[in-house]
Each structure stands twice: as structure tokens, then as C-alpha cells.
Amino acid sequence: MSCTNAYFNGWASCSTLLEKMNGAALQTKGETWTDTSIVSASTWHTEVADKTTATRSVLPVPILSFENTTDEPEVTTSQLGIKSITSKGIPSGMLGLKAGLCDYKQLHALEGTEYEFFPFFQDGSFWATRKADGTLKGFRVKVDTVAGLPPEDKSLSFPMHLFFQNYLEFEDVVVFRPEFTFNDVLDYGPVGMDIRIVTPYVISTGVVIVKITNRGTGEGHLALAIADIEILSSNAPPTVAISTLVDDGLGQYTLTIQSEAAPFAAGEYAIIQASDEDDTPTYLTYLSHSIKISA
């Protein structure tokens, strides 16, 4: 801490206590907003559910509870009995997610990764922080999840630990009260799908069989096309593509995935993700987790 010239300023005409958190959103690290875009419902819809993967950057996080786990400030007492704060704890917390095990187990992939975090509150407001260049962002956070047996407190069945990275970001909180609410942002989110391998990749043909179901129901998701299966990354030589897709009418799909029109060599892989879009087509209505297809 350093001392600067401090000048008194006025008080607002109202004073209110802080509201309870009723939702949150994670955004890809480094993404920023303007004062106009951050209160635009259509922009949030795009960031949550745009059909283009590179454009989607926000995950709404429904919660049942929030616990502030920030360490108390470190207070040192001098030999003369004078107290001083010598260290301030960087904020941290724990969310109890409003989710199911089928959702929570897919969140383990987020562990140890840094994101931008936006807390939403019961009065319809949410917080952001302002950068030196005038743009807005969430609070930099590292998230962790915990697998294990059920806790005594069922509201903490699916905990997400939040470890914020920068104390100063919270000294520059910017409060927004948009026309939309957190429930609107949550409703923008695609319905989850699960994808699993039924028959492993066959090197001689490039064929793999996967099962795609609507999350939480186990019902097969039908009528997907090649364009609905995206190759997110691969270590095989470009160009990697899906050349054929056969739907058995029950949510089971036979895919031919090849590199340069030839099957993968041993050790090569592709990471794929399935989605389905609405009638516009602008926004996704269904989105699966990613899965690795290895030769």
C-alpha cells in the first residue's frame, strides 16, 4: 500500500445494503465489454449461445447458495499497541450450484483455469470492473470443483470454489442494472447433450460410432447433420473432416472422421462437439460436452 493525496467527496442520496447473489457467469479470460454492450440483452445472448464457437464466451452458472470464504485482513499490533492492516485477503468464495450430477461432472474440465467472473444479485444488478483503457470485464478468477460423496448440506452437493486473482479489481466495482435479469441470461444457455463412444475408432476405415442423448433424460437426440458435429481440435495433419454421418434414428451416429481423406494413424485424434440450432439459425438450442476420438 502506498499513500496518495486523498480528497473527500460527497455522499449519494440513498444508502442500501448489498444484495444476495442469485447467479453468476463465467467468461473466457481476456474478453471485454463496452458500457453499451454489457447492458445489451442481445449481446449477452450472442456471447452465451451463438452458433459460432469462436463467438461464444459466456457460461451462465445457476446457484443455490454462496459462501464468502475470503480470509480476514491480517492485522499487526506494534510494540506500542497500535494496530495496522498489513495484508488484505484476495476475495474467494464457494458457490453451491443449482445443477445435477450429469452437469457437474462436465465442469471438472474447468479446474485450474482462469476466467472472468460476473456476480448477479437479487435486485437485478450485476458487477463488473473497469480496465485502464475504459473497457469493462469480469473479475479474474480460478475455479475448482470437487468430486466425491454427497455432503450433509444438500445445497452444497455441487460446489464450485472461486479463487479471485486481483484484489484491486474489487476496489473498482462497476454496478449495472440492465433491463434483463439473470434468469434471462440463464435461459439463453443451450440445453445440454451428452456424447459417448459406443464403438471405438477403426483405423482401417476411419469410422467411429457415438451415442448422443439429451442430458438428464437419456433420450437420443435425433436428426443431427454433419454440420452439427464440429471438430474443435486435432493433432492429425490438416484437413480433418467428417465425411459421412449415418443416424440410426435413436440417437446413435456412425461417423467417418479422416485426415486428408484418409483414416487417422495410430495416436492421432480429434476432439469433437455436437450442437443443434434453432430455426433462425442464429443461436444454439442444444450443446454437448466435447469428446476425444482417438485412433
Average confidence (pLDDT) over 196-212: 98
Average confidence (pLDDT) over 25-33: 98
The model's pTM is 0.93
What pLDDT score does 81 carry? 92
Helices and strands: H and E segment counts in the chain: 3, 18
Q: Who's near 153: CB < 8 A, 6+ residues apart? A: 96
Task: Tell me, yes or no, whether 242 lies in a domain.
Answer: yes
Is the confidence at residue 63, as pLDDT, over 90? yes
pLDDT tens track for 243-281: 999 999 999 999 999 999 999 999 999 999 999 997 777
Task: Tell me, yes or no, whether 15 lies in a domain.
Answer: no
Average confidence (pLDDT) over 22-43: 98
Q: Using CA atoms, how far apart are residues 61 and 22, in angstroms rounded to an integer?
A: 10
pLDDT tens track for 205-239: 999 999 999 998 989 999 999 999 999 999 999 99
pLDDT tens track for 149-170: 999 999 899 999 999 999 999 9
Indicate if 154 and 208 belong to the same structural domain: no
Is the confidence at residue 1, as pLDDT, over 60? no
Here the CATH number for the domain that contains residue 265 is 2.60.40
Question: Which DSSP string corresponds to 109-128?
Answer: GGTT-EEEEEEEETTS-EEE
Q: Using CA atoms, how far apart are residues 116 and 193, in angstroms rounded to an integer?
A: 25
What pLDDT score does 80 carry? 92
Average confidence (pLDDT) over 47-64: 96
Indicate if 206 and 178 belong to the same structural domain: no
Q: Who's near 223: CB < 8 A, 6+ residues apart? A: 247
Last residue of a domain, one of 188, 207, 224: 188
Indicate if 239 and 175 belong to the same structural domain: no
Domain that holds residue 86: 21-188
Indicate if 40 and 166 belong to the same structural domain: yes
Last residue of a domain, one of 188, 220, 236: 188
Task: Tell me, yes or no, whether 11 lies in a domain.
Answer: no
Indicate if 54 and 159 belong to the same structural domain: yes
Q: Who's near 10: CB < 8 A, 6+ residues apart? A: none
What pLDDT score does 15 carry? 87
Structural domain count, the chain: 2
